[in-house]
């Protein structure tokens, strides 16, 4: 009984700010506005969806690459961090967190100035006699932006899961003759998978729906899903019905992806990788 | 451990906030603590009102912000100032309702559309005596034939901006420069449907205001062909691109070119031989504006010589106010691109309002262009 009351504000919050907007999105996605201003039920918003297949594919590909890079960079980082103790660890955690204290847009903007044709890196390169690199306005720059912005969301969950692993489990493995690589492969890695999974979720979803990063670092040339949706609401092509339909399709695909991944996680340990 | 968990949770929340955040880059709220009592008024032209506030929604980089403080001091009306980066962004924000802006400053074609869709409130010109100072040529324009809804703010021409150190002289002259493969990756294209599709239409020899769907589709096809050689699509980002020499060719408004020139003397500007767009941005009041009288006082103030001159010297667009033009440095007021003669005017065409089916076509074609793959 008491528990229910405590949950009430949360339920209220969810109803107003999550469920209700979802219903609005659903209604928009399934309707169109007639020339006289009235709305009618239709599926035509979804009819043209195949035309955006390339945009869907590009978004999922870039977000996927960004997620993989985040795992490759973030896992070792989290692993070594978790083995440290005391000041070094808190210092390093702080450094990972530090950029998050600055506004997301500002951080992304600063990359524009760094990567720009006559920006910081290229000025540096040409001053030591090396040729300039064209990084800005490429897919690579977009992935870089995603990795930079979302890496902490990969490191922190893995870090917290690894630090939670009971030391006695590791000692037991060592007692049974496992080398340090085997300990990692057979014990630490499988036990840290839940952290990897939540990291993947927290990196992949914002990456797949971002539009600021692709706008600023991609030059608005390689459209991502986020850009496509934003265009339908605030950009040049005002059509909230189509925008809602695309959002809905994206949500469904993301849900399916997450479902498959969680399956993967439940199977536990040995089935995965390595 | 709890601490780490709490940290992660709060990060996750922050992330969801961020990913849901609109492109608020252009939206800074201008607020000022000056709450004048209205007695320090020196312009003599400003209508006295009893304080309150006015919500203004204007283009980015389109005002001398000290004018807002002057207005607050003179009238005691607090200005809430927000900015957008294109007519379409502004429209997308206002069309669903729920905003409480009083004054907006759209361009001609967007005003026509907003009048058509009953989004604007007729102005009470008794409260805007400074309207008398507006150039008669700009009164009763095509987009607002009886001049009921709008008061011109600034006007100007669009053209091609290029970096003289990066572009060869013989390639100049036409819109073709934006399609010239020699400058692949050095070209930035304007990022709004009306201007971009308009440029493509003009280049093909069509009118900006064509309602021939085949011509519009053809124009968008040429834009798709142009996409691989572009560095990107930009609006106000063009300042950084051109000033820093990060792009060689862009297209924007003449007033902004003058601003860029102050920071990069290597820049040049020309009006393409196929013709270009002449536009007027005018101040309007939205239907159901909560502070209509304050909004009229604001519009009136913006038409005062003092405010007009300050704005003009900040943004270098062409002023519609005759008294301001007289006060301007003769070098500016005789600039052939800022105050063009008839020969140049003959090359210019303004955007007219388009029928709904064409507007819908622009929207879907723009999506087609932007979602086309380049690789």
Q: Which residues of A234-243 are buried (b: 16+ CB within 10 A; e: fewer)?
A: bbbbbbbbbb
Which residue in the set B11, B18, B88 is minimally distant from A104, CB to CB?
A: B18
Looking at per-residue pLDDT, the higher value among A222 and B185 belongs to B185
Q: Does A1 reside within a domain?
A: no
Mean pLDDT of A219-240: 84
For the cut 90, the answer to whether the pLDDT of residue B62 exceeds it is: yes
**Rounded percentage of chain B residues whose pLDDT exceeds 90:** 71
Q: Are B337 and B160 in contact (CB under 8 A)?
A: no
Among B242, B261, B238, residue whose Cα is nearest residue B192: B238
- Cβ-defined contact of A160 to B370 (cutoff 8 Å): no
The band of B45, judged by pLDDT with boundaries at 50, 70 and 90, is: very low
For the cut 90, the answer to whether the pLDDT of residue B13 exceeds it is: no
For the cut 70, the answer to whether the pLDDT of residue A272 exceeds it is: no
Mean pLDDT of B79-95: 91
Residues from chain A that touch B216, judged by Cβ atoms under 8 A, are none
Whether chain A has a CB inside 8 Å of the CB on B192: the answer is yes
**Rounded percentage of chain B residues whose pLDDT exceeds 70:** 86
- Cβ-defined contact of A150 to B240 (cutoff 8 Å): no
Looking at per-residue pLDDT, the higher value among A25 and A235 belongs to A25
Q: Does A103 reside within a domain?
A: yes
Whether chain A has a CB inside 8 Å of the CB on B1: the answer is yes
Alpha-carbon distance of B146 to A159, in angstroms, equals 68
Residues from chain B that touch A211, judged by Cβ atoms under 8 A, are 23
Domain boundaries, chain B: 26-155+280-339, 156-278+349-371
For the cut 80, the answer to whether the pLDDT of residue B177 exceeds it is: yes
For residue A94, give Cα distances in angstroms to A89, A100, A105, A154, B73: 8, 10, 21, 15, 46
Q: H or E stretch including B336?
A: none
Of all residues in chain B, the one with the smallest CA distance to A156 is B8
- pLDDT tens track for B357-372: 998 899 889 989 988 8
* pLDDT score at A265: 64
- Phi, psi at residue B321, to the nearest 5°? -90, 120
Q: Are A124 and B254 in contact (CB under 8 A)?
A: no
Indicate the average pLDDT of chain A: 88
Of all residues in chain A, the one with the smallest CA distance to B228 is A221
The band of B11, judged by pLDDT with boundaries at 50, 70 and 90, is: low
For the cut 90, the answer to whether the pLDDT of residue B24 exceeds it is: no
- Cβ-defined contact of A52 to B366 (cutoff 8 Å): no
Residues 53-112 of B with CB under 8 A from A: 86, 88-89, 91-93, 95-96
- Cβ-defined contact of A232 to B234 (cutoff 8 Å): no
Residues from chain B that touch A134, judged by Cβ atoms under 8 A, are 185
Fold topology of B156-278+349-371: D-Maltodextrin-Binding Protein; domain 2 (3.40.190)
SS3 label, residue B321? strand
* pLDDT score at A48: 78
- pLDDT tens track for B207-251: 999 999 999 999 999 999 999 999 999 988 899 999 999 999 999
Token pair, residue B302, equals: 């913006």
Whether the domain at B26-155+280-339 and the domain at B156-278+349-371 fall into the same CATH topology: yes
Residues from chain B that touch A163, judged by Cβ atoms under 8 A, are 1, 4
Residues from chain B that touch A55, judged by Cβ atoms under 8 A, are 371
How far the first Cα of chain A sits from its last, in Å, is 48
- Cβ-defined contact of B91 to A238 (cutoff 8 Å): yes
Residue that has been written with the tokens 């819109």 in this structure: B175
Q: Does A169 reside within a domain?
A: yes
Q: Does A15 reside within a domain?
A: no
Alpha-carbon distance of B229 to B375, in angstroms, equals 11
Token pair, residue B75, equals: 């009238």
Residues from chain A that touch B5, judged by Cβ atoms under 8 A, are 160
Q: Does A214 reside within a domain?
A: yes
For A93, the domain range is 43-271
- pLDDT tens track for B333-353: 889 999 998 888 998 999 988
The band of B129, judged by pLDDT with boundaries at 50, 70 and 90, is: very high
- pLDDT tens track for B160-173: 999 999 999 999 99
Which of A54-58, A188-192, A221-225, B231-235 shows the lowest per-residue confidence on average (mean pLDDT)?
Answer: A221-225
A vs B, Cβ pairs < 8 A, gives 135
Alpha-carbon distance of A271 to A269, in angstroms, equals 6
Dihedral over alpha carbons B284, B285, B291, B297 (to 10 degrees): 30
Q: Does A32 reside within a domain?
A: no
Single pTM value for the model: 0.80
* pLDDT score at A86: 83
**Ramachandran category for residue B245: left, alpha or beta (phi over 0 → left; psi -120 to 50 → alpha):** left
Q: Does A14 reside within a domain?
A: no
Rg (CA), chain A: 23
The band of A243, judged by pLDDT with boundaries at 50, 70 and 90, is: very high
Q: Are B208 and B351 in contact (CB under 8 A)?
A: yes
Indicate the average pLDDT of chain B: 86
Q: Domain tally for chain A? A: 1
Superfamily of domain B26-155+280-339: Periplasmic binding protein-like II (3.40.190.10)
Residue B9: Cβ-neighbour burial (10 angstroms; 0-12, 13-18, 19+): exposed
Q: Are B267 and B245 in contact (CB under 8 A)?
A: no
* pLDDT score at B20: 40
Mean pLDDT of A95-107: 89
* pLDDT score at A218: 87
Residues from chain A that touch B11, judged by Cβ atoms under 8 A, are 97, 100, 152-153, 156
For the cut 80, the answer to whether the pLDDT of residue B47 exceeds it is: no
Whether chain A has a CB inside 8 Å of the CB on B263: the answer is no
The band of A192, judged by pLDDT with boundaries at 50, 70 and 90, is: very high
Q: Are B353 and B116 in contact (CB under 8 A)?
A: yes
Q: ipTM beyond 0.85?
A: no
SS3 label, residue A270? helix
Among A152, A156, A119, residue whose Cα is nearest residue A135: A119
Q: Which residues are within 8 A (CB) of B129 and not within 5 positions of it... i.e. 6 or more apart?
A: B45, B47, B300
Mean pLDDT of A23-34: 92
- Cβ-defined contact of A51 to B368 (cutoff 8 Å): yes
Looking at per-residue pLDDT, the higher value among B294 and A35 belongs to B294
For residue B351, give Cα distances in angstroms to B107, B114, B199, B211, B234: 9, 14, 12, 12, 20
For the cut 60, the answer to whether the pLDDT of residue A248 exceeds it is: yes
Of all residues in chain A, the one with the smallest CA distance to B193 is A236
Looking at per-residue pLDDT, the higher value among A176 and B27 belongs to A176
Mean pLDDT of B121-147: 94
Token pair, residue A145, equals: 């932006």
Among B17, B113, B37, B71, residue whose Cα is nearest residue B351: B113
* pLDDT score at B140: 92
The enclosing domain of A218 has a CATH number of 1.10.3720.10
Mean pLDDT of A93-112: 89
Q: Does A233 reside within a domain?
A: yes
């Amino acid at each position: 009984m008491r528990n229910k009351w405590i949950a009430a504000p949360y339920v209220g919050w969810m109803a107003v700010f999550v469920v209700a907007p979802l219903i609005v999105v659903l209604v928009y996605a399934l309707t169109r506005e007639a020339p006289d201003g009235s709305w009618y039920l239709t599926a035509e918003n979804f009819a043209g969806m195949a035309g955006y297949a390339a945009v869907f594919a590009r978004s999922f590909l870039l977000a996927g690459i960004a997620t993989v890079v985040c795992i490759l960079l973030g896992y070792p980082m989290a692993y070594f961090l978790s083995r440290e103790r005391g000041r070094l660890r808190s210092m390093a955690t702080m450094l990972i967190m530090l950029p998050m204290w600055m506004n997301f847009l500002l951080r992304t903007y600063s990359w524009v100035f760094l990567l720009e044709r006559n920006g910081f890196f290229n000025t540096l390169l040409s001053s030591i006699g090396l040729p300039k690199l064209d990084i800005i306005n490429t897919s690579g720059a977009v992935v870089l932006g995603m990795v930079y912005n979302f890496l902490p969301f990969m490191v922190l969950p893995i870090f917290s899961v690894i630090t939670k692993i009971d030391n006695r489990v590791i000692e037991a493995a060592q007692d049974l003759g496992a080398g340090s690589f085997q300990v990692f492969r057979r014990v630490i890695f499988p036990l840290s998978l839940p952290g990897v999974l939540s990291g993947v979720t927290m990196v992949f979803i914002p990456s797949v729906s971002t539009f600021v990063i692709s706008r600023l670092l991609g030059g608005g040339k390689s459209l991502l899903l986020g850009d496509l949706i934003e265009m339908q609401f605030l950009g040049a092509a005002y059509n909230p019905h189509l925008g809602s339909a695309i959002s809905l399709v994206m949500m469904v695909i993301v849900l399916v992806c997450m479902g498959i991944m969680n399956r993967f996680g439940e199977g536990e340990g040995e089935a995965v990788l390595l | 451990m709890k601490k780490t968990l709490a940290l992660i949770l709060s990060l996750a929340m922050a992330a969801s906030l961020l990913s849901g955040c609109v492109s608020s880059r252009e939206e800074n709220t201008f607020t000022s603590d000056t709450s004048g009592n209205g007695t320090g008024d020196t312009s003599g032209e400003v209508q006295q009102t009893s304080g309150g506030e006015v919500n203004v929604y204007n283009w980015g980089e389109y005002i001398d912000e000290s004018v807002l403080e002057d207005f607050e001091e003179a009238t005691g009306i607090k200005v809430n100032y927000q900015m957008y980066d294109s007519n379409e962004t502004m429209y997308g924000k206002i069309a669903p309702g729920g905003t409480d802006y009083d004054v907006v400053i759209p361009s001609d074609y967007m005003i026509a559309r907003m009048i058509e869709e009953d989004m604007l409130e007729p102005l009470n010109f008794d409260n805007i005596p400074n309207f008398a100072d507006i150039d008669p040529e700009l009164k009763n324009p095509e987009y607002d034939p009886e001049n009921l809804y709008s008061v011109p703010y600034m006007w100007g021409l669009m053209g091609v901006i290029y970096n003289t150190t990066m572009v060869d002289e013989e390639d100049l002259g036409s819109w073709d420069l934006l399609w010239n493969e020699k400058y692949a990756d050095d070209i930035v294209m304007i990022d709004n449907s009306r201007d971009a599709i308009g440029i493509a239409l003009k280049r093909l020899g069509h009118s900006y205001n064509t309602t021939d769907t085949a011509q519009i589709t053809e124009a968008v096809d040429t834009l798709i062909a142009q996409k691989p050689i572009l560095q990107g699509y930009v609006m106000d980002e063009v300042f950084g691109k051109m000033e820093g020499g990060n792009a060689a060719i862009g297209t924007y408004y003449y007033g902004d070119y003058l601003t860029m020139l102050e920071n990069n003397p290597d820049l040049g500007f020309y009006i393409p031989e196929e013709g270009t767009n002449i536009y007027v941005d005018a101040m309007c009041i939205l239907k159901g504006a909560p502070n209509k009288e304050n909004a009229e006082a604001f519009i009136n103030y913006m038409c005062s010589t003092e405010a007009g001159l300050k704005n003009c010297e900040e943004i270098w667009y062409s002023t519609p106010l005759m008294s301001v033009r007289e006060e301007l440095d003769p070098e500016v007021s005789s600039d052939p691109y800022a105050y063009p003669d008839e020969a140049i005017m003959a090359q210019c065409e303004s955007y007219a309002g388009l029928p709904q089916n064409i507007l819908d076509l622009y929207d879907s074609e723009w999506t087609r262009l932007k979602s086309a793959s380049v690789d």
